[in-house]
Chains A and B, each alone.
Chain A
Amino acid sequence: MTNRSSDLRTPLGRVRFLGSARTGTMDAWLIHLTSVALVPLTLGFVWLMLDLLSKDYNGVRAELASPISAILLLAFILAGIIHMELGMRSIIVDYIGGQTRAWALAANTCFAALLALACVYATLRVAFT
């Protein structure tokens, strides 16, 4: 932003009514999209978990290896972890400032990415071995 001394407007006055800082819309869209997707996915996930309660190790493996279970689980994991990452990002932005904020945001993204990779890897391993 230019800040010439000839400009008598305040910094707030200059940015008012210019809309968002350009990249926020995608985050807002994604958290809403995943939230709607997670309604049926969560119900399906809970149904699947209840179905596993009466099964032993081999039964659980067989159930999770079926295409419907595996795809449901993958969709739940991906939508859930994207939603979770965006949600924690808004919590961090609300409560943490300065240099700590950058580290917290980086840690949040790395944690979510590792968790997603671990869950997807494990699900695929059960499905394909």
Chain B
Amino acid sequence: MASSDASPGSPRPRPLSPHLSVYRPTMTMAMSIAHRISGAALYVGVLLLAWFLIAVSSDASSFAVFSDFISSFIGRLTLFVITWALFHHLVSGVRHILWDAGYGLDAPLRDQMAWATAIGGFALTILVWATGFAVR
């Protein structure tokens, strides 16, 4: 090999994965990160579902403890964040399925889909909480 950039015996460094810091931030990049963060949030959020189900299956006093927590400010804030993470991850996941199918990868549409993800996640969260307060 005639290349001069590698000393004998040591391999030439391979190109690494794209580093976030060398790219201009884009909406699709932001939504990719948001997809992962919302997924990680749901990983923790499932504990709340487990607590709810175990409390219901136990007795009325266990359920009252859960009910008091979820009605408190901290409980509602936690549930609101989990609701957002759930809907953001849902809408974002649909976008990824469409992309995997080869649809919507072209320049204007992929950014529009990324924006739709961001807006859709918040819109569905607000819709569900408004419905929740209405039917409560």
Contacts and interface: CB of A to CB of B under 8 A. Distances in A.
Interface of A: 10, 12, 32, 35-36, 38-39, 42, 46, 50-51, 53-54, 57, 60-61, 64, 73, 77, 80-81, 84, 87-88, 91, 115, 118-119, 121-123, 125-126, 129
Contacts of B57: 121-123, 125-126, 129
B116 interface: no
Interface residues of B, number: 31
Contact of B56 (A35, A81, A115, A126): A126
Interface in B28-57: 36, 39-40, 42-43, 46-47, 49-50, 53-54, 56-57
A122 B56 contact: yes
Contacts of B96: 35
A126 B53 CA distance: 8
A84 B43 contact: yes
Q: State the majority secondary structure of interface residues on A.
A: helix
Contact of A91 (B36, B46, B128, B135): B36
Given A32-B97, A84-B42, 6 more contacts: A36-B97, A51-B135, A81-B46, A91-B39, A91-B40, A115-B50
Contacts of B11: 10
Interface in B113-136: 128, 131-132, 135-136
Closest 8 CB pairs of A and B: A122-B53, A122-B57, A125-B57, A122-B54, A57-B60, A126-B57, A53-B136, A57-B63
